[in-house]
Structure 1
Amino acid sequence: MCRDGHCEHSATPLAPGVDDGVQPSADTVDRRRLLMAAATGAALTLAPISFAPARADAATKGAAPADGEVTRVVTGQLATGAADFVYLPVEVPKGVQKIAVQYSYDKPTVPAGTPGNSCDIGVFDERGLKLGGKGFRGWSGGFRTSFEISNSEATPGYLPGPVNPGTWHIVLGPYQVAPQGLNYQVQITLTYGEPGPAFTPNYPPKRAKGRGRAWYRGDGHLHTVYSDGRRLPAEVAAGARAAGLDFMVSTDHNTSASHAVWGQYAGEDLLIVTGEEVTTRNGHWLALGLPAGEWIDWRYRSRDDAFRRFARQVHSVGGLVVPAHPYCPYVACQWKFGYDDADAVEVWNGPWTYDDESAVDTWDAMLGEAVRTGKRWIPAMGNSDAHSEPQVIGLPHNVVYADDLATDAILGGLRAGRTWIAESHTVQLTFAVTGDGRKAGIGETLTTRADAPIDVRLDVEGVPNGTVRFITDEGQMHQESLPASGSGSVVWRTTTSLAAYVRAEVRHPMADGTPGKGNAMGPNLMWGPMAALTNPVFLRRSGD
């Protein structure tokens, strides 16, 4: 989700200027230079910037110093309606050991209700710009104004490695452009010399010391300084442990860079799963369980028909595709790709708000549609999306029934919907249905005779004066209040002829202390914040 004003916002595309190859200069590009750029679909490629090769000896005329720096500065303006991505080619010669980039753009005053300037930045190396290709070297969205890459190290969000000769591309993503346009400046500095030692990644292990087949708690949506968070990886791991979590998923925006550092923060008590939040212009999605170091492209909209390709890429490696905060009110956050390729949907993101309420309503409608059509149902997830203090890691998180505390087992439990969502580790519950001598739990199916009585039971702790709701394909069918202690058991009876599924919610009291009401018209059709939410148990009649 967009936090602290950061939503993968962007800056404007460039118009390149070139100097004599030795001294820095700043050239403003005129319209004729811009005509040299090629606009294709949602992308614009500008005229290239060239650098001189390192000189072989002191007498080589016009070459760059063998161990010095050379800087180019590019300025220009983007108008409203600029391409989604603007590529500035940089011709990198042999003998370069580091590339450094700084950028800035103006932020003029705009009328109320009008988006102001916002622009992202990233880079691809000499292997090219192909969608989903191998050239990706880093992305920082609008969170940073500069980055550096060398063989030994890189700015968080970027991948260390050799600065090979060839055409690199600086990427500007003009996320929003003011009516006055967006004036930008990009400064590129190449440092010549021998490359340093190669960077050694420290990926996290795929297994921790679990409890065998058991319920495990974990937050599947977390950010660090490797994208637009302000917490260091060490702080995120410490926060996960403090929240009583067994696992967490690293999901920095549009980059795999943080994967290489998580090994030192994982442990027998904490499984760290590698992933990515893929931040497109038509919604964000979580790629959970990516192989360490694997990156998923984000440069497309729903009309480009590319999402399915990248969903297949995630599925091919055993990962999960999870639309994130589908009703997020910020620009480009609302989900537009549909749910056919989703393995789960994030219906609860951070502290409970009205957009979570909308997400749960939509998800519940999808459950009904799955029952009607016999199609696959999509489980619900809840994650904190925590970026920075005071956002709480683990508010909410998933409680997953898995065979072990291992990446594949946790992903399997999430995929199967053997999960419920808790606002904190102090909330405990069990939810199951029994009938005809059989029992089924969350994410499972109970098959009985049509008229056989089915008892639905929820045991809960940690929600003082809370409200328990049982919801079926007909809507809310039972409501009961918990005592001040927050602990209690609620039982309700139904049959497979009356309900195709049943799920449970546990709500806090409303602000005035009342429990709220459902299935009624008028101002009382309101509820307090969510404390816990289960995936459904399905009820099937024998012979169906």
Structure 2
Amino acid sequence: MTEDVHGERARLGRRGLLAAGAVGVVAATAGAAHAEEATAPAPDRTITLTGTLPTGAPDFVHLPFDVPPGVREIAVSYRYDRPTVPPGTPGNSCDIGLFDERGTDLGGRGFRGWSGGFRTEFAVSREQATPGYLPGPIRPGKWHVVLGPYQVAPQGLAYRVDVTLRFGAPGGEFAPAYPPERARGRGRAWYRGDCHVHTVHSDGRRQPAEVAAGAREAGLDFIVSTEHNTSSAHGVWGPLAGPDLLILLGEEVTTRNGHWLALGLRPGEFVDWRYRSRDEALPRFARQVRRQGGLVVPAHPYCPYVACQWKFGYEHADAVEVWNGPWTYDDESAVDGWDAQLAVALRDGRSWLPAMGNSDAHSAPQAIGSPHTVVLAEDLHRDAVLAGLRAGRSWLAESAAVRLEFTATGHGRQAGIGEELAVPADAPVDVRLDVSGVPNGTVRFLTDEGQLHQESLPAEGAGTVVWRTTASLAAFVRAEVRHPRADGTPGRGNAMGAELPWGPMAALTNPIVLRVRR
């Protein structure tokens, strides 16, 4: 680590000039000069931190620097080398963030921001900060830049971080504008929401106002703000919410062994991300989220990119994101894995994990609300929406154009999505799906045995499908509505080969559980 000497030279030059002037001018002039010296802010001071990280470097490297009294703003820029690597070998990739004088302890209070690899420079002061970072007091003490070497080339990763300390009056205090926890709802009703969206406060390119406008255009009732590893966006959503749009607060916790959504955080709450599965830290942070009534949701668990696949297991999860953005192979895998968990959980008499679908939209042309989750909630209120998601009273839709109703009726009783129907073992149970908005679609009914019924929808995309079963034959029933395959066929069950056996998903329900009434 080295420190730039330009600032010290500037201070010495200033003192030299004042000393020479004191000999050749009258006392009044010297007094004025000394008064100016007393009130003028010190010149900027730049600290340069350099080093090389070897292959196998720690996930997070904390670089200390000292902040003296009187600093108004801290500005940071960084760069690192990108040497040529052999084909198939990862090249250098390094994230960055900031911790203040309160320290770098895991889950501690020192967090001041994170921009991952999305920015090469940022600044923080008492009254404002670069998106991704938190405005607040610049107190003297030992601060840290945190580097996250995402990938390191065989040659190592040489970095340079320039920290510029700007002196002066601290400025006004930042006043966050948090969104209200309630919007104008329709009482107990189905509400549409996208629980995974990004803005310029992490690696998105949309402004928060653009995301809010996109949510309204998509026909959503609510969204959840989920920036990567930062709560900096929480304080900007207030003016963008309204009676027609509930905005909940959250974070996408981006670890080295997978990403998870902390949904329904309290304003300004930060959830740490600096751990792997083997560190056994997830239970601690899951408890942090749940203590405030929030949800822990593994995101895109089969995503093929580095550090995205979920490696923590599902013991501490409240739901799982099985559909992320446009339908792809990893979504197909996520649904298959979730379906298998349903069967095992119900066999063992354990609670089952609800499915969610979200857009994970970052930038155009990624569509906000495609897909989204439709939840049955008592009202359009934070606690009610989270309770509906937690209970699995929800289904997934590619857009607001898709509508459905799914029920199971038997022995004089009826249950809906996420609910339980207890009937005698051999009592007939009629499963009914009413759907619209999927032209030439295919309806599938699936149980713990797999698909047991399939029907095609007409060209106008609306229809009713009814199928009969019993609780002795099916531990649960769930529904899927698929688009036709690219070749125009409705899809077939056991197809092998390079193509998916089914067309893209248009809608997916959580299960209706069937219990044998003793």
Equivalences for residues 429-448 of structure 1 within 5 A: 429-448=404-423
For 2:399, the aligned partner's letter is: S
1:465 is aligned to 2:427:
no
Query: What SS does structure 2 have at the residue aligned with 1:257?
Result: coil
Query: What SS does structure 2 have at the residue aligned with 1:351?
Result: coil
Contact 1:24 1:70 in 2 (8 A): no
Q: Which residue pairs with 1:348 in the alignment?
A: 323
Structure 1 residue 281: Cα displacement: 0.2
Structure 1 residue 67: Cα displacement: 3.9
Distance 1:20 1:498 in 2: 78
Distance 2:499 2:55 in 1: 45
For 2:382, the aligned partner's letter is: T
Count residues in correspondence.
Answer: 496
Contact 1:518 1:524 in 2 (8 A): no
Structure 1 residue 460: Cα displacement: 0.5
Contact 2:494 2:501 in 1 (8 A): no
Which of residues 501, 505, 518 in structure 1 aligns to 2:493?
Answer: 518
Q: Which residue pairs with 2:62 in the alignment?
A: 87
- The two structures have a TM-score, normalised by structure 1, of 0.89
Query: What SS does structure 2 have at the residue aligned with 1:164?
Result: coil
Q: Which residue pairs with 1:326 in the alignment?
A: 301
Contact 1:151 1:160 in 2 (8 A): yes
Equivalences for residues 389-538 of structure 1 within 5 A: 389-519=364-494, 526-538=501-513
For 2:165, the aligned partner's letter is: L
- The 3 A distance-change label for structure 1 pair 105 and 328 is same
1:192 is aligned to 2:177:
no
1:247 is aligned to 2:222:
yes
Alignment deviations for residues 495-515 of structure 1 (CA, whole Å, 9 cap, x no partner): 011101000000000001001
For 1:145, the aligned partner's letter is: T
Q: Which residue pairs with 1:286 in the alignment?
A: 261
Query: What SS does structure 1 have at the residue aligned with 2:211?
Result: helix
Structure 1 residue 240: Cα displacement: 0.3
- The 3 A distance-change label for structure 1 pair 521 and 451 is farther
Which of residues 337, 357, 377 in structure 1 aligns to 2:352?
Answer: 377
Which of residues 41, 51, 61 in structure 2 aligns to 1:76?
Answer: 51
Gaps of 5+ in 2: 11-31
- The 3 A distance-change label for structure 1 pair 21 and 247 is same
Alignment deviations for residues 305-341 of structure 1 (CA, whole Å, 9 cap, x no partner): 1011000100110000000000001000000000001
Q: Which residue pairs with 2:102 in the alignment?
A: 127
Which of residues 6, 11, 17 in structure 1 aligns to 2:2?
Answer: 17
Q: Which residue pairs with 1:42 in the alignment?
A: none
Alignment deviations for residues 99-130 of structure 1 (CA, whole Å, 9 cap, x no partner): 00000111122122111110000000011111
RMSD of the alignment, in Å? 1.9
Alignment deviations for residues 325-368 of structure 1 (CA, whole Å, 9 cap, x no partner): 00001000000000001000000000000000000000000000
Structure 1 residue 83: Cα displacement: 1.1
Alignment deviations for residues 435-461 of structure 1 (CA, whole Å, 9 cap, x no partner): 011000000000111111000000000
For 2:135, the aligned partner's letter is: P
Structure 1 residue 524: Cα displacement: 8.4
For 2:339, the aligned partner's letter is: D
- The 3 A distance-change label for structure 1 pair 335 and 259 is same
Q: Which residue pairs with 1:46 in the alignment?
A: none
Distance 1:166 1:138 in 2: 17
Contact 2:194 2:369 in 1 (8 A): yes
Distance 1:104 1:485 in 2: 55
Structure 1 residue 523: Cα displacement: 7.5
Query: What SS does structure 2 have at the residue aligned with 1:375?
Result: coil
Structure 1 residue 372: Cα displacement: 1.0
Identity percentage of aligned residues: 72
Gaps of 5+ in 1: 1-15, 26-56
Distance 1:82 1:130 in 2: 19
Query: What SS does structure 1 have at the residue aligned with 2:137?
Result: coil
- The 3 A distance-change label for structure 1 pair 471 and 519 is farther
Q: Which residue pairs with 1:12 in the alignment?
A: none
Structure 1 residue 519: Cα displacement: 4.4
Structure 1 residue 75: Cα displacement: 2.3
For 2:470, the aligned partner's letter is: T
Distance 2:5 2:201 in 1: 35
1:275 is aligned to 2:260:
no
1:66 is aligned to 2:41:
yes
For 1:186, the aligned partner's letter is: V
Q: Which residue pairs with 2:276 in the alignment?
A: 301
Query: What SS does structure 1 have at the residue aligned with 2:7?
Result: coil
Give 4+ residue runs of structure 1 displaced > 4 Å after superposition: 57-60, 519-525
Alignment deviations for residues 65-115 of structure 1 (CA, whole Å, 9 cap, x no partner): 734211122222211111111111111000111000000111122122111
Equivalences for residues 23-62 of structure 1 within 5 A: 23=8
Distance 1:521 1:263 in 2: 50
Alignment deviations for residues 509-543 of structure 1 (CA, whole Å, 9 cap, x no partner): 00010011114667887000000000000001111
Q: Which residue pairs with 1:232 in the alignment?
A: 207
Query: What SS does structure 1 have at the residue aligned with 2:2?
Result: coil
Contact 1:99 1:148 in 2 (8 A): yes
Alignment deviations for residues 192-214 of structure 1 (CA, whole Å, 9 cap, x no partner): 11100000000000000000000
Structure 1 residue 21: Cα displacement: 7.2
- The two structures have a TM-score, normalised by structure 2, of 0.93
Structure 1 residue 18: Cα displacement: 2.2
For 1:402, the aligned partner's letter is: A
Query: What SS does structure 1 have at the residue aligned with 2:489?
Result: coil
Contact 1:517 1:524 in 2 (8 A): no
Greater Cα shift, 63-72 or 322-331:
63-72
Distance 1:231 1:58 in 2: 49
Q: Which residue pairs with 2:142 in the alignment?
A: 167
For 1:270, the aligned partner's letter is: L
Alignment deviations for residues 159-200 of structure 1 (CA, whole Å, 9 cap, x no partner): 001110011000011100111211211111001111000000
Contact 1:344 1:415 in 2 (8 A): yes
